[in-house]
Chain A
């Protein structure tokens, strides 16, 4: 059964054109770009082209782009660099809904003697900007704020936040892993200092990412080694994947309108149909300030893993914020930060679409979901047809 893949925020397929562009560099053109000979040097030229392509989708200059292995590495590099280049400052500001790449690092930094402030969000997943402004202090080395949330798709006002940080002499980094390729980004229009992106979220392979560092920003490398990336990130370049990333950025830039029209329409169709056909469910996150491809819906009185495994029978792929699927025993920290009640958090499903999804696929999901929810509710001690029993609900 061909999968109906609606989990693109987790990872996305490698675009066929991108795979084709990569292959020669896994076969005959295996040279090291740093080598003197033509065999290696010609590869170096291709890496430069890829760098330009990545710079273009961000509105940046090629020498502001550092290739990394992933979004997590980019995040770690940016934050540690800010701390290293501001030795007097021990404070970082971030949000409660960041990806673990940032939050786990913040926790680790806490153990290393730094302080982290996590700005809360409201019930719609929107940042409390007043509290953000208040949190900026002379001791703050960096703000790290995601451009768009991976679970709900909610978009943060990072450009405004960056200006506020700058007015206080504080560096601003954004984890834009979910935003790049989905919404237009132009770094000439703001003062963001550093930005992380990840290849496998925009139809490049896993294992490659990039970090943008604005010209003039003091920088301290994380991965120290050879002279690659102008001494900013050691390690022989992952040539095939870098070339893939470049082309993927190029394609994403061309398809940006599609993403914000066709894909958005499919997402809206799916979301509205489910909200209409299935009782007692709701969308998590601000539906207006949101990525065009993401829909996070909570279904009351049923549990996320059970829903996903039932969908799996139809090869429909999605993910959930429930405790059982989180890897810990708590439901998603994002939903908890939004104050989504446990009764809803355990039954949340995230659908994240891409340009490869079709109308027919969405129809199939619309046809399948209501019955699955109904079936699981019939098994639930909290659901009675026509009348809801809330026995044993702890509020």
Chain B
């Protein structure tokens, strides 16, 4: 069912560093039996503050076991400061990649590491506070914002793949979308590659057919693309839209907004009669 890389299979069938370090310098357990994923990480430091031993115990699937095995291999030899910079993407990359739906296993690895480091430093656990967004899986706002930022996530589905949030009752989907929008809105503007004329026209055509016309058709209306000149998109309304008083609003708020979002932010939609 899952397309696992050879590295994932290897770390699952022959995991490294299984067990518990005696008298660990850092220890943490994340996840739960209820969730179907749990990881206990322990590590020991030498006199130079480098991790000499790291062990794991996991309750979970092949990805969870492989992620934990990979994590312990990655951090051995690092200082605590270096280990604190390890991301979930590092874990996934070490394994040659994980299936999308399993990315949350790599996130769990990173969470355990952070908690163990916090434990070593005598600080409170990083993910313990924060507003719970997903009740089904106990995922906080902070956690969601973080995976969106660190992994450049765009959709609710991706957030679910990385944190499980939204994968239960679905009641938190709106809240997740808000967080995605907020996080993606901040920071540098998304730089789009320049589109050639022919690419732009094709994309406008596709977007109109796929995203816009079905919406209008639901209400008995329709739209026809007449021409594209520079950034001016000329369309003609059909069906119910042709005689609708609100069609001007539709042009701006639905058609233009969607085309700006999905194709090019400077497009302008004009209604023409034909």
Contact = CB atoms under 8 A, between A and B. Distances in A.
Interface of A: 301-306, 309-310, 313, 322-325, 328-331, 342-343, 346, 378-382, 391-394
Contacts of B13: 309-310, 313
A382 B1 contact: no
B62 A309 contact: yes
A21 to B, nearest CB: 32
B252 interface: no
B187 interface: no
B232 to A, nearest CB: 40
Given A382-B33, A393-B32, A306 B61 contact: yes
B40 interface: yes
B34 A329 contact: no
B204 to A, nearest CB: 33
B164 interface: yes
B106 interface: no
Q: Which of A301, A305, A330 is the most central at the interface, judged by chain B CB atoms within 10 Å of its CB? A: A305
Is the interface on chain B under 10, 10 to 19, 20 to 34, or 35 or more residues?
20 to 34
Interface stretch (B52-60, B144-152, B178-186, B214-222): B52-60
A392 B57 CA distance: 14
B239 interface: no
B80 to A, nearest CB: 22
Contacts of B122: none
B65 interface: yes
Contacts of B36: 303, 322-324, 331, 342, 346
Contacts of A305: 61-62
B33 A342 contact: yes
Given A309-B62, A325-B1, A379-B15, A343 B164 contact: no
B33 A343 contact: yes
Contacts of A381: 29, 38-40, 57-59
B271 to A, nearest CB: 34
B134 to A, nearest CB: 10
A380 B59 CA distance: 5
Nearest to A377: B59
> Can you list the 4 inter-chain pairs with the closest CB atoms, starting with the nearest?
A329-B167, A305-B61, A381-B40, A324-B61
Given A303-B36, A391-B40, 16 more contacts: A303-B61, A305-B62, A309-B12, A324-B63, A329-B137, A330-B167, A343-B33, A379-B15, A381-B40, A382-B33, A382-B59, A392-B29, A392-B31, A393-B33, A393-B34, A394-B33
Contacts of B18: 378-379
A151 to B, nearest CB: 17
Nearest to B40: A381
A306 B65 contact: yes
A302 B168 contact: no
Interface of chain A, main secondary structure: loop
Interface string B5-37: 000000011010010000000000101111110
B168 A330 contact: yes
A237 to B, nearest CB: 32
B160 interface: yes
Given A324-B36, A381-B39, A394-B33, A303 B1 contact: no
A329 B134 CA distance: 13
Contacts of B62: 305-306, 309
B247 to A, nearest CB: 29
9 contacts: A301-B59, A303-B61, A309-B12, A325-B1, A328-B167, A343-B34, A381-B39, A381-B57, A392-B29
Given A380-B57, A381-B38, A346 B12 contact: no
Contacts of A342: 33-36
A325 B1 CA distance: 9
Contacts of B61: 303-306, 322, 324
A395 B31 CA distance: 14
Q: Which of A304, A346, A378, A394 is the most central at the interface, judged by chain B CB atoms within 10 Å of its CB? A: A346
Q: Which of B1, B29, B36, B60 is the most central at the interface, judged by chain A CB atoms within 10 Å of its CB? A: B36
B41 to A, nearest CB: 10
B63 to A, nearest CB: 8
Contacts of A343: 33-34
B78 to A, nearest CB: 23
Nearest to B12: A309
A343 B34 CA distance: 6
A392 B58 contact: no
Nearest to A325: B1
Interface string B41-83: 0000000000000000111111111000000000000000000
Contacts of A309: 12-13, 62
A329 B162 CA distance: 12
A346 B33 contact: yes
Contacts of A322: 36, 61
B32 A392 contact: yes
B40 A379 contact: no
Nearest to B31: A392
A392 to B, nearest CB: 5
B58 A380 contact: yes
Contacts of A379: 15, 18, 57-58, 65
Contacts of B15: 379
Nearest to B160: A329
B59 A302 contact: yes
A373 B40 CA distance: 19
A310 B1 CA distance: 14
A323 B18 CA distance: 23
B236 to A, nearest CB: 34
A346 B164 CA distance: 16
Contacts of A330: 167-168
Contacts of A303: 36, 59-61, 64
